[in-house]
């Protein structure tokens, strides 16, 4: 079964080449995916009141919710959701109006709130809550509720960030091969 992309006010999501979206996912509005992305079962991505931009080779795993903050008089740009390349978003993650750089792993059940900026090469541990208006510095592991900087990433962890994204590119290619 093929995924259904929904429009909002006549604007449909756009997909990069070789992008896989599971048929149970809900993807609606002004969303742009780079090449080789994957969206897994029961994900909801809603680009209705602001934009969502997702880089190449990014995977969004089962049950995650991605949304934005509306444009308003008090917040003229709102908070869009911007995600870089080679990002792994674990199961049941909530991303809301934040910006993620490239080569990031967001652990299962993490919540990242409005106006958070996550620099490149970051691990966010499972269950971590990142409150609004925080900046997560490149090269570190962040954990906890609320989050705290735990320690620098080692070389193995840094190399795993890209490897995780490639693993999901290979997996989604297998799924696309079955369609």
Per-residue pLDDT tens over the stretch 149-175? 999 999 999 999 999 999 999 999 999
pLDDT at residue 2 tops 90: no
pLDDT at residue 179 tops 90: no
Structurally, the chain folds into a number of domains equal to 1
Q: What is the mean pLDDT of residues 24-53?
A: 98
Mean pLDDT of the chain: 97
Q: What is the mean pLDDT of residues 4-28?
A: 96
pLDDT at residue 4, rounded to an integer = 79
CATH of the domain at 22: 2.160.10.10
pLDDT at residue 1, rounded to an integer = 62
Backbone φ and ψ of 177, nearest 5° = -65, -20
- Using alpha carbons, select from 164, 128, 121, 122 the residue that is nearest to residue 143: 128
Read off the DSSP letter of residue 120: S
Summarize pLDDT for 98-136 with one digit per residue, the tens: 999 999 999 999 999 999 999 999 999 999 999 999 999
pLDDT at residue 87, rounded to an integer = 98
Task: State how far the Cα of 7 lies from the Cα of 27, in Å rounded to an integer.
Answer: 9
Whole-model pTM?
0.96
User: Which residues span the domain enclosing 9?
Assistant: 5-178
Q: What is the mean pLDDT of residues 87-94?
A: 98
- Using alpha carbons, select from 137, 92, 93, 135 the residue that is nearest to residue 116: 135
Read off the DSSP letter of residue 71: -
pLDDT at residue 49 tops 90: yes
pLDDT at residue 19 tops 80: yes
């Amino acid at each position: 079964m093929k995924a259904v992309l929904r429009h909002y006010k006549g604007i449909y999501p756009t997909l990069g080449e070789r992008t896989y979206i599971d048929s149970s996912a809900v993807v609606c509005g002004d969303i742009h995916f780079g090449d080789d992305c994957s969206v897994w079962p029961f994900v909801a991505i809603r680009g209705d009141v602001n934009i969502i931009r997702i880089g190449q080779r990014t995977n969004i795993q089962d049950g995650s919710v991605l949304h934005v903050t509306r444009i308003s008089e008090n917040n003229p740009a709102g908070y869009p959701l911007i995600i870089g390349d080679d990002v792994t978003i674990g199961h049941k993650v909530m991303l809301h109006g934040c910006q993620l750089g490239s080569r990031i792993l967001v652990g299962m059940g993490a919540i990242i709130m409005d106006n958070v900026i996550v620099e490149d090469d970051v691990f966010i541990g499972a269950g971590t809550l990142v409150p609004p208006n925080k900046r997560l510095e490149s090269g570190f592991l962040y954990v906890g509720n609320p989050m705290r900087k735990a320690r620098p990433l080692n070389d193995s962890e840094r190399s795993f960030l890209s490897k995780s994204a490639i693993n999901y590119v290979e997996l989604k290619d297998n799924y696309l091969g079955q369609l």
